[in-house]
Amino acid sequence: MTGFRTRRAQCFQLKSAVQVAGVLMGLVWLLNLFAKYPNAKNNQPLPTVGKVMMIYGGNNTLYERAIETHQEHSRRLGYPLFILQREILDGVWNKYAILLSVLLQELAKPSDQRLQWLFWFDSDTVVMNPHMKLETFLPPVEADHVHLLLTKDWNGMNNGVFPIRVHPWSVQLLSAALAYPVVKPEVFLFWPDQSALANVLNENEHFARSVVYCPLRWFNAYMRSPDGESLNPDSPAELQFHPGDLLVHFPGTPRDHLAETLGPYLAIAEAHRAEWEPTAENTGYPEETVNFWRKQSSMPSNVDSTHWRGEN
């Protein structure tokens, strides 16, 4: 009888996951997308990296200004930008819905016409260096088993900014994360979408072995001093934005504090000061990322990845 109940529970979970996936497949094709593709010219290659964001509801002036910094970055470097502008699911779960929608669109194309990577950006991120190429941070061609790059802070994994490969693996992962609260309703998710993704990775080696944790400053740096002009001595320097870095992220900032928190950084970004906007080649990132990926490739396959991912 116990075995029967176990099999029945497993069948229920599988059925729930299939139902969620079925509903999702119907929803994602109905998403109201706003996509900006650069005008392709015959002598220019197709883009291989796209950017994905979401913003909806009223009174979003500061978020709109933040997204304008991403639009400028996309315009300069030729990245298509996909923005979800209508709430489809509950709150933060729309992140995985829009990503799944774009992934499915790209995977439906011939392989030589697809984007290869999608970068997710929360709307509380401000691009500070529109010259920084996103390709700088991606794994080398030979690391074709790596499908997701994440970062960690003092709370563990942060999913405010991350690149994910256009690959069936990514559809499976995001579907599993989106279905997690339905399949496991008894599990408390402190940060709903983030905790669900972390749990899926912790519980499934199939997913975990294709994830690498990178230094947070690469593409998910946090704020420094309130005016943005100096480092905050009370916070680890390696987590803070430095001039020349891609962006600054403001996780957990209450809506009524957005103006005082994001405002100074938006002003700096909109001023386009030369010392804040070097080309990628004039930062230390090309050498740093090459060394990082070389070190990852030298790690033995039997090393517990939770101990070495993202360590320098």
Q: Which residue has the higher pLDDT, 305 or 112?
A: 112
* Whole-number Å distance between alpha carbons of 152 and 158: 6
Tokens matching residue 78: 């030729």
* Predicted pLDDT at 91: 85
Chain segment 103-120, per-residue pLDDT in tens? 999 999 999 999 999 999
Question: Phi then psi for 305, rounded to 5 degrees?
Answer: -65, -25
Question: Phi then psi for 278, rounded to 5 degrees?
Answer: -70, 155
Kindly indicate the confidence band of residue 15, based on its pLDDT and cuts at 50, 70 and 90.
very low
Is residue 212, in this structure, part of any structural domain at all? yes
* Residue 294: how many other CB atoms lie within 10 Å: 10
Q: Which domain holds residue 136?
A: 18-216+282-308
For 103-131, letters b (16+ CB in 10 Å) and e give bebbeeeeeeebbbbbbbbbbbbbbbbbb
* Predicted pLDDT at 20: 53
pLDDT, the chain, mean: 86
HSE-CB for 205 with a 13 A CA cutoff: 3
Of 9-23, 67-81, 116-130, 275-289, the least confident: 9-23
pTM for the full predicted model = 0.85
Is residue 268, in this structure, part of any structural domain at all? no
* Whole-number Å distance between alpha carbons of 30 and 176: 20
* Predicted pLDDT at 309: 34
* Residue 237: how many other CB atoms lie within 10 Å: 11
Of 31-35, 57-61, 160-164, 238-242, the least confident: 31-35
Is residue 295, in this structure, part of any structural domain at all? yes
The fraction of the chain above a pLDDT of 90, given in percent, is 75
* Predicted pLDDT at 124: 96
Is residue 298, in this structure, part of any structural domain at all? yes
Q: How many domains does the chain have?
A: 1
Is residue 28, in this structure, part of any structural domain at all? yes
Chain segment 220-271, per-residue pLDDT in tens? 999 999 999 999 999 999 999 999 999 999 999 988 899 999 999 999 999 9
Concatenated DSSP letters of 139-204 = PPTT-TT--EEEEEETTEEE-SEEEEESSHHHHHHHHHHHHHHHH-TTS--SSHHHHHHHHHHHH-
The CATH number given to whatever domain includes residue 131 is: 3.90.550.10
* Predicted pLDDT at 60: 83
* Predicted pLDDT at 300: 54
Sort strands 49-54 and 81-84 into parallel, antiparallel or unpaired: parallel
Instruction: Look at residue 306 and tell me whether its pLDDT is greater than 70.
Output: no
Tell me if 74 sits within 8 A of 36, measured CB to CB.
Answer: yes
